[in-house]
Amino acid sequence: MNQTYYPNLDVQTAVSFPQNLAWAVNAQADELRKEINNWLTEYRKSTRYAVIYNKYFKNRRSASIVKSDFFTLSSGKISQYDEYIKEYSREIGWDWRLLASLIYQESRFDPKARSWAGAFGLMQLMPSTARRFGITTSSPAAAQIRAGTQFIQWLDRRFDDAVPDPEERIKFILAAYNVGPGHIFDAITLAEKHGADPAVWHDNVETFLLRKSDPKYYRDPDVKYGYARGRETYNYVTQVLERYEHYKNLIEDQPLEDS
pLDDT, one tens digit per residue, over 131-153 is 999 999 999 999 999 999 999 99
Asked if the structure places residue 169 within a domain, the reply is yes
Closest by alpha carbon to 240, among 150, 175, 144? Answer: 175
Q: Which residues are catalytic?
A: 106
pLDDT tens per residue across span 51-76: 777 777 666 555 555 444 555 555 67
For 190-203, the pLDDT digits (tens) are 999 999 999 999 99
Query: In which region does residue 226 sit, left (phi positive, over 0), alpha (psi from -120 to 50) or beta (all else)?
Result: left
Statement to judge: residues 38 and 111 lie in one domain: no
Q: Is the pLDDT of residue 256 over 70?
A: no
Residues facing 242 on adjacent strands: none
* Cβ-Cβ contacts under 8 Å for 7 (sequence gap 6 or more): 60
Residue 17: other Cβ atoms inside 10 A: 5
**Do 137 and 99 belong to one domain?**
yes
Residue 14 covered by a domain: no
Do 44 and 81 lie in one domain? The reply is no
The answer to whether residues 59 and 3 belong to one domain is yes
Cα 132 from Cα 134, distance rounded (Å)? 6
Q: Above 60 in pLDDT, residue 259?
A: no
pLDDT category at 215 given cuts 50, 70, 90 is very high
How large a percentage of the chain has pLDDT more than 70?
A: 87
Domain shared by 244 and 168, yes or no: yes
Percent of the chain with pLDDT over 90: 69
Measured at the alpha carbon of residue 251, what is the angle toward residues 246 and 257, in degrees to the nearest 5?
Answer: 135
Same domain for 108 and 34: no
Q: Which of 154, 173, 190 lies at the terminal end of a domain, its last residue? A: 154
Structural domain ending residue among the three candidates 137, 154, 171: 154
Residue 239 falls inside a structural domain: yes
Does residue 133 lie within any of the structural domains?
yes
- 228 lies in some domain: yes
Let me know if residue 43 belongs to a domain.
Answer: yes
pLDDT in tens, 96-112: 999 999 999 999 999 99
pLDDT at residue 21 in the model = 81
Q: Is the pLDDT reported for residue 16 higher than 60?
A: yes
CATH code: domain of residue 146: 1.10.530.10
Looking at the structure, do residues 212 and 228 belong to the same domain, yes or no?
Answer: yes
Residues 150 and 166 in one domain: no
- Structural domain boundaries, residue 100: 77-154
Domain tally, the chain: 3
Q: Are residues 95 and 144 in the same domain?
A: yes
- Same domain (yes/no): 184, 205: yes
From 99, 119, 154, the end of a domain falls on 154
Tell me whether residue 25 is in a domain.
Answer: no
In a domain, 24, yes or no: no
My answer on whether 104 and 150 are in the same domain is yes
Q: Whole-model pTM?
A: 0.74
Q: Are residues 43 and 107 in the same domain?
A: no
Residue 54 has a pLDDT of 75
